[in-house]
Amino acid sequence: MILVGVWPRFAANMETVTIPIPNGVKGLIFDLDGTIIDSMQMHFESYNHALELWGINYPREVFFSRAGIPTLKTLEMIAEDYGIKNPDYNGVIERIRNYSRDNSDKITLIEPIFDIIKDTSHRLPMAIGTGSGRKHVDEILKQFSLKQYIQHVVTATEVTNGKPDPETFLKCAALINVDPEDCVVYEDGVLGIEAAEAAGMQVVDVTKYL
């Protein structure tokens, strides 16, 4: 097991974390939000801002339990939860997008994962597999210049079935031309971890290290 990505969590005592790359893997696949970038708090705020249209205060624990589910599917679940009749999905999605765009400065890279990407991109193929839509993902790739390291990306726009279905990660494996059993997925979401396992891939739960 290779250990890459050392991150000082507490400056006072200089404790560090190391994130593993399992031995023998031939390809790396990364979730985006909550794995490569620290964006979940901003997204939580964007949902609550948008859901003011429906008079809803979206609980934090429910939001995080649904991490990785595409936005429209999440909104359909919320509408069902709260009995919203004839919901204006397009209006809410537009408010989410506008809030996210206007607050993109709140997003930061998760350094231990970014270290893995930088240190390993020259010797192992990589892909991003995310439940976010293509427009948001392209903006993030540009904001943090990630395309120089990772050229292959599968978003919610390109799949029929989002996480926990394995389709996203299986498409990533096909793009980098690596068999699923030879891939490792870095994930922070329960549904994403389930998707990686369903795809027959190794998985690293990054929440255990950050």
Residue 70 has a CB neighbour count (10 Å cut-off) of: 19
Alpha helices in 18-70 (DSSP H): 40-50, 60-65
Look up residue 149 and give its amino acid: Y
Instruction: Identify the pLDDT of residue 44.
Output: 95
> 203: which residues sit within 8 A by CB, 6+ positions away?
184, 185, 186, 187, 193, 196, 197
Handedness of CA 21, 25, 28, 30 (dihedral sign): negative
Tokens of 117: 């990407």
Q: Output the pTM of the full model.
A: 0.81
Question: pLDDT tens track of the chain, all 210 residues?
Answer: 444 444 433 333 335 667 989 999 999 999 999 999 998 899 999 999 999 999 999 999 999 888 878 889 999 999 999 999 999 999 999 999 899 889 989 999 999 999 999 999 999 999 999 998 898 899 999 999 999 999 999 999 999 999 999 999 999 999 999 999 999 999 999 999 999 999 999 999 999 987
Is 138 in the active site?
no
CA-closest candidate to residue 192, choices 70, 71, 96, 108: 70
Q: What is the pLDDT of residue 6?
A: 41
| pLDDT of res. 2 | 43
Residue type, 110: I
Q: Which of 31, 33, 38, 188 is catalytic?
A: 31
Question: What are the start-end ranges of the H helices in 6-148?
Answer: 40-50, 60-65, 71-82, 89-102, 111-120, 134-143
Return the pLDDT at 17: 66
Residue 105 has a CB neighbour count (10 Å cut-off) of 8
Considering only CA atoms, which of 124, 149, 146 is closest in space to residue 22? Answer: 124
- Model pLDDT, residue 67: 82
Give whole-number Cα distances, 20 to 7, 68, 126, 162, 186, in Å: 13, 22, 15, 26, 10
Kindly tell me the burial class for residue 56, based on how many C-beta atoms sit within 10 Å of its own C-beta (0-12, 13-18, 19 or more). middle
Q: In 3D, which of 205, 183, 182, 210 has the Cα closest to residue 193? A: 205
